[in-house]
Amino acid sequence: MAETQHLQRFADFLRFWRGVFGLSQEQLAEMVGTSTRHVSRLENGISKPSEVLTDHIADALKLGRRDRSHLRIAAGYATNEIAQDFHSPDLKWLRSAMLRTLQTLDPYPSTLTDGAGNILMVNKAWVGFYQDKVDTERLRQTVNLYDFLFNDGSDGALSEEWQDALSLVIMAFKQHVMLNGSDQENQTLKRILDYPNVPTDWKIRASRLEPRASFKVKIQHQGMVRGFYSVSQMVGALGPAAYMTEPRLSINTLYPEDAALSLEKLLLTPLEHPLLFY
């Protein structure tokens, strides 16, 4: 039953795109080098397309990155995203939009990261929040959020909440790397797994927890241990391929659990950081 439903998803996509371009089954078959009978079986959810044929169809129809990714997912294959440089001239508009977003999030500490956890931008609140918690030079040299989380230099035992949060972060990143990770992401994963703060039971711990985009954590602030919500938001294309679309960007923000706790004071002192651009 599950296999039939899976085949039907691809069938629906194939029939949809053939209709968009006004092609007959015969015409599409000729374009991708297969038989009309095979196209008919694909559209009726009887046959499973090979990965090569799926890409041939996307090429023949000149599908864009989004639509090619959706077609591959419908066929049961991981996407083949080409890495995009966030700093390229073509993405100047995106950098401007992300900068405004981070500014708007003040006074809540926020970072913009790529798929490998590299920090691309921070807001003033993030610098203000951590400048009294982290050595100044270390804070200035922080360029990867995973390194920052897993290598905080503390020797104390982590709370259960932190162990759960870190385990879920690793599990999500590990599964992404297995599906479609780049060489850089593979290297990042190997590096963070060597940090002493990685829970020894992270695999089992994460397997028993439902993945989520926010965590409740305890952080020292203003002389007290306070609760914060760590919330991650994906920035990408709409649809089922959003989590794989390059550049894979995330905005990561801390909100105080106590709504009455004001963080406005974080912005009152002069703040500098190599990744703070306003």
Q: pLDDT confidence of 237, banded at 50, 70, 90?
A: low
Residue 155 has what pLDDT?
Answer: 47
Of 100-104, 166-170, 237-241, 257-261, the poorest mean pLDDT is in: 237-241
Residues 163 and 210 in one domain: yes
Contact 67, 21 (CB under 8 A): no
Would the pLDDT of 181 be above 50?
yes
103 in any annotated domain: yes
Q: How many domains does the chain have?
A: 2
The mean pLDDT value of the chain amounts to 89
Residues 8 and 43 in one domain: yes
Residues 117 and 63 in one domain: no
Q: What percent of the chain is predicted at pLDDT more than 90?
A: 59
Domain that holds residue 27: 2-75
Distances (CA, A) of 25 to 4, 14, 16, 30, 41: 21, 10, 12, 9, 11
276 in any annotated domain: no
Q: With the CA atoms of 201, 202, 207 and 209 taken in that order, what torsion angle do they form, in degrees rounded to the nearest 10? A: 110
Residues 105 and 205 in one domain: yes
Region 200-211: mean pLDDT is 90
Phi, psi of 38 (to 5 degrees): -70, -40
pLDDT, one tens digit per residue, over 116-170 is 899 999 999 999 999 988 889 999 999 999 999 888 655 456 788 888 888 998 9
Residues 103 and 130 in one domain: yes
